[in-house]
Structure 1
């Protein structure tokens, strides 16, 4: 039985999509593209390690707790150390990481500060579910506790059946996929755009009883579908790793909800403002979407401490406006 072109893709280098590094060259302020490229190159061995799962050992082995109180897995720490080593070769002054209690100083003569979550969704390590990496880049400053509006660039890596990277240097969002034939991230979309309307919601329905009344009313309305005031049905996707939903929304549209709720420890939300919510919000706004904490734009906020938490809603602008109307009733 002969295999069709789906299983025998052309290996003609001339037919391949352009490299992300070539696409980013000359974009943004000096040094930004170099940092993004360093993160992209460092993501390749992480993707390989995830693909090996438990064959050479247990990447999900618990090693303790991080500064935010979450369980730390072996791969959380390994990815953190790996990224710090990669960023140390660039013009980065300081790094804030989910896996470190305090900012890490790298190069005093550098020009940029980086905030990073080396492994997003680490509760799913070892089961083949999508995982991710989030990062944001700020001009160096007196403090790492900066308003989100000062961010100069942001991006993510999504580790799934493909390894995908999304990045913005302040002029739209570019998407790329790691080509396993040569190890190069190649451009798949030069300008991703999030449609303003959607029928797709992403949230953890098991926590619905803990939510505020306005948010429950919004979800009740969504479930009512064609028989309710929306006049149309909705669908739900929940990947349980924010990067996975972010990547999907940048391609297909949708809205992501991770609200505060009444459970102990979740009263102020659970995602980290500085290195999770800020990069996502930057990318959303660059792609024509929106990102909010339920009261206002995420990027208008400033963290009180490096592991500050926040509610987070992001995606289609018009759908978030509908959500906000319920929250403020």
Structure 2
């Protein structure tokens, strides 16, 4: 049986329905090639002297890992010269990176978390790259941060690459979710799953239970009901899974269902949440919705939120549709 490559899939998307412009196809292929380079560095680990922390901090004040910096540089270098981008933004950079004048400027904007789950790098647990693609909607010359401040529902494409036992690329261009596995011998991305669907119901939740004492009442209520099991109001037993790598946790949910929660908590009450809206929540929400799931910040659909700044944070509840709706309803009941 012949397998479909990433290139073939993108060409077929370009031919059917017309929602795959040539620049977008090129952009996705370049990002996919960059992820292959990052995968090589991740797989070498200590052999490549890429483990451990660097001596720098990112814009969020977090100590950067060596691989954070390497992955960020790989994505910038791979994408800035091809003529498909106007600018890029990264979780690891203070401001946007405008395509240099010596290269042609395209009509798309690329946002990425170059290496999600950095705390897992040194212990050989799955980590990944998350990316989001927007169209530059203004007609003015030049690019500014304002061009990036679009709601997630305007994404042209989104995806992630998870570096685990297999290297897997998960992608949506607004026409469902597909998965590609890296064939290391051939060096090519091969489709291994099409029409990915998240079950509407689940018996699994993913959350950092160590923060329970800081959660808002609606989150406590939901988790307490799950923990009560078959003798509680949900009348079924739940399992908890928590990898502390959003890519790994969301990949599990896309594969077999579940609900992922990174809610607001009282430790930093003035911050809406921990995760970044534009680099993490938006692309993951787009993927989850395209797979039939739901994604909210507790009260609002994530993809409807218009960001006010480049590194905006947000609470996240995403995954199996019926569970997300339940958590959201608990928040709305308290607000009402």
2:175 maps to 1:182: no
What is the aligned counterpart of 1:94 among 81, 84, 87? Answer: 87
What is the aligned counterpart of 2:52 among 55, 60, 64? Answer: 60
Structure 1, residues 47-86: CA drift from partner, whole Å, max 9, x if none? 1111111123143223321112222111111111110011
Please tell me the root mean square deviation across aligned C-alpha atoms, in Å. 1.4
- Note if contact 2:317-2:324 (Cα within 8 Å) is conserved in structure 1: yes
By percentage of residues, which structure has more helix? 2
Structure 1, residues 288-314: CA drift from partner, whole Å, max 9, x if none? 111110011000001111111000110
Aligned to 2:251: 247
What is the aligned counterpart of 2:290 among 286, 297, 305? Answer: 286
2:106 maps to 1:110: yes
2:224 maps to 1:220: yes
1:109 positional shift: 2.9
2:205 maps to 1:201: yes
- Note if contact 2:10-2:20 (Cα within 8 Å) is conserved in structure 1: no
Aligned to 1:274: 278
What is the aligned counterpart of 1:137 among 129, 133, 136? Answer: 133
1:24 positional shift: 1.8
- Paired residues in the alignment total 315
Q: 1:179 to 1:265 in 2, by over 3 A?
A: farther
The DSSP-based 3-state class of the residue aligned with 2:182 is strand
Aligned to 2:11: 25
Distance 2:258 2:118 in 1: 23
1:88 positional shift: 1.3
Worse overlay, 253-262 or 27-36: 27-36
Structure 1, residues 306-328: CA drift from partner, whole Å, max 9, x if none? 11100011001111111122223
The DSSP-based 3-state class of the residue aligned with 1:54 is helix
1:108 positional shift: 5.8
Instruction: Provide TM-score, normalisation by structure 2.
Output: 0.90
Distance 2:324 2:85 in 1: 35
Q: 1:35 to 1:158 in 2, by over 3 A?
A: same
1:208 positional shift: 0.6
Query: Following superposition of structure 1 onto structure 2, how do residues 3-42 of structure 1 map, counting pairs within 5 Å?
Result: 15=1, 17-27=3-13, 28-30=19-21, 31-42=23-34
- Note if contact 2:81-2:104 (Cα within 8 Å) is conserved in structure 1: no
Distance 2:235 2:92 in 1: 45
The DSSP-based 3-state class of the residue aligned with 2:160 is strand
Distance 1:281 1:202 in 2: 16
Structure 1, residues 83-125: CA drift from partner, whole Å, max 9, x if none? 0011113301110101111111115630101111110011111
The DSSP-based 3-state class of the residue aligned with 2:122 is coil
The DSSP-based 3-state class of the residue aligned with 1:247 is helix
Q: 1:66 to 1:122 in 2, by over 3 A?
A: same
Stretches of structure 2 lacking an aligned partner (at least 5 in a row): 14-18, 139-146
- Note if contact 2:294-2:325 (Cα within 8 Å) is conserved in structure 1: no
- Note if contact 1:42-1:82 (Cα within 8 Å) is conserved in structure 2: yes
Distance 1:266 1:108 in 2: 41
The DSSP-based 3-state class of the residue aligned with 2:195 is strand
The DSSP-based 3-state class of the residue aligned with 1:208 is helix
1:265 positional shift: 6.9
1:188 positional shift: 0.7
Aligned to 1:85: 77
Instruction: Provide TM-score, normalisation by structure 1.
Output: 0.92
